[in-house]
Chain A
């Protein structure tokens, strides 16, 4: 340890011109590490893989006398698991900084708070893509297992479907991330995300049946319905609907969340 003395010139000041700013890549690396360096983070990923393995085995057994597509494993089993757990991971990557109060250390080492948010978001998206790759791999094993049980397996990789599926997973995760950033509280954010994911679309559909004007509006504000067809590729996507509903459920909460974080006192 050698404390450097004050720079020549004005006494009591030091020279910061030689210190480079922390690059985003380094922050992303740190945030990726934070996703897996605690038991809760690691277990979330292990449970995710375990559930996909279990579900794929069950599906392989269930279709033993019929036929099944390789992609069915990814879309139906992988998607069901990652669609729920990836947003939870994204939510917790933000909210645990508040519940564990590590935000003090995080923001003293990098005072540019929006940059930290971006680094976290990039890290969770990387984790999501890796999770999808793992899910596809397990899906392939599941398809092989089904073939072993006697099913006819269609091995068409369905590249467009996979891309759409990945995109859909990332969208779900980003909505979770935005809600987590806005609420900064794990239980509240998880409950809100599941309301968004499973309750609100139903309410909107029901409301649409009573009010014609709402039925016209609904596709523009229902992000779940707008992004739902992604799982089969990009053919059935209404890009206008995806953009406006995405603005409402991703851009708006994320923007408000970052604003809140900028004003917040970190205690």
Chain B
């Protein structure tokens, strides 16, 4: 499994990874969710020994990556599917990997079959591959050495919906056989589809983590009123935390408390129910609001 403790990486004055701790367990697909530039890739590069951390530790199966002999046999890594020599064929890339790890050439064919790259495609140069094909090749490369742990950075990027479904099946099966998977994405729906547990990272910090169910139920209560602003003020006056959500608000309180508050303040409630997973989505949108170019207009769901 992957264990990260107090990991910190600073570039000049910019803290890319800020005291990050988490665990990715065997038998689970752990989704690493965050907007671009949140620190996912840096964390994964530190895990694979390509970047040095300023503080904290990152171990895989109890070992420092650099102390694992022939690491491809224990840890499968895909950090950037496009980081391959454009002039090599897909088959050649896998052959180089297999030779480095000391694997038989038959392993290359097995992996090509596993990721559904046919014979003709495998003999094409990577410069002519689509992003989806590069991702499949990258996953084949990560799985070559039959590793116990997989680290995949944005593996679903460039895959069509059928490809994402395929990857879900592949990683599910891998985890069920006892493997640990850490995969990152900047798209909530991708991670929702593939991962069992999720880590949400923003500006270098882990802001939420847990199983999908945990994250979705901790969302609080959604309320809409004729005068939502007044309701928000009344709830805040009681010391409750309130955040705007679409045309209403989400409060960290039981529906009964909100109903009583509305009654006491003479506010007409239009809607009152458990927030439907919007908590995670709102959290994610808040995180992305600063970094994305489009303005997130209140009341419009992205």
> How far apart sit A121 and B154, CA to CA, in the bound complex (Å)?
34
> How far apart sit A38 and B92, CA to CA, in the bound complex (Å)?
9
The interface bits of chain A over 230-267 (1 if a CB of B lies within 8 angstroms of the residue's CB, else 0) are 00000000000000000000000000000000010111
On chain B, which size bracket covers the interface? 35 or more
Given A1-B174, A3-B177, A30-B100, A108 and B62 touching (CB < 8 A)?
A: no
Contact of B69 (CB < 8 Å), options: A3, A19, A33, A38: A19
Which residues on B sit within 8 Å (CB–CB) of A110? Answer: 71, 100
Cβ-defined contact, B65 with A109, below 8 A: no
Cβ-defined contact, A111 with B49, below 8 A: yes
Which residues on A sit within 8 Å (CB–CB) of B80? Answer: 101, 104
Max count, chain B CB within 10 A of own CB: residue among A1, A38, A105, A111: A105
A107 within 8 A of B: yes
Cβ-defined contact, A3 with B86, below 8 A: no
Closest to A17 in B: B69
Max count, chain B CB within 10 A of own CB: residue among A12, A34, A102: A12
- Closest-CB distance, A79 to chain B (whole angstroms): 29
> How far apart sit A94 and B62, CA to CA, in the bound complex (Å)?
33
Which residues on A sit within 8 Å (CB–CB) of B175? Answer: 3
Max count, chain A CB within 10 A of own CB: residue among B50, B66, B80, B174: B50
Which residues on B sit within 8 Å (CB–CB) of A38? Answer: 85, 87-88
> How far apart sit A53 and B90, CA to CA, in the bound complex (Å)?
34
Cβ-defined contact, B146 with A1, below 8 A: yes
Cβ-defined contact, A20 with B50, below 8 A: no
Closest to B82 in A: A101
Q: Which of A1-57 contact B (CB under 8 A)?
A: 1-6, 10-14, 16, 19-22, 26-27, 29-30, 33-34, 37-40
Q: Taking A20-B69, A26-B99, A109-B101 as given, write out 11 further A-B residue pairs in contact, using a Cβ cutoff of 8 Å, ordered by the A residue number.
A: A1-B174, A3-B174, A5-B26, A13-B1, A21-B70, A33-B96, A34-B96, A104-B50, A109-B71, A110-B100, A265-B51
Instruction: Identify the B interface with A (CB < 8 A).
Output: 1, 3, 23, 25-26, 45, 48-52, 61-63, 65-74, 77, 79-80, 82-88, 92-93, 95-97, 99-102, 110, 114, 141, 143, 146-148, 174-175, 177-179
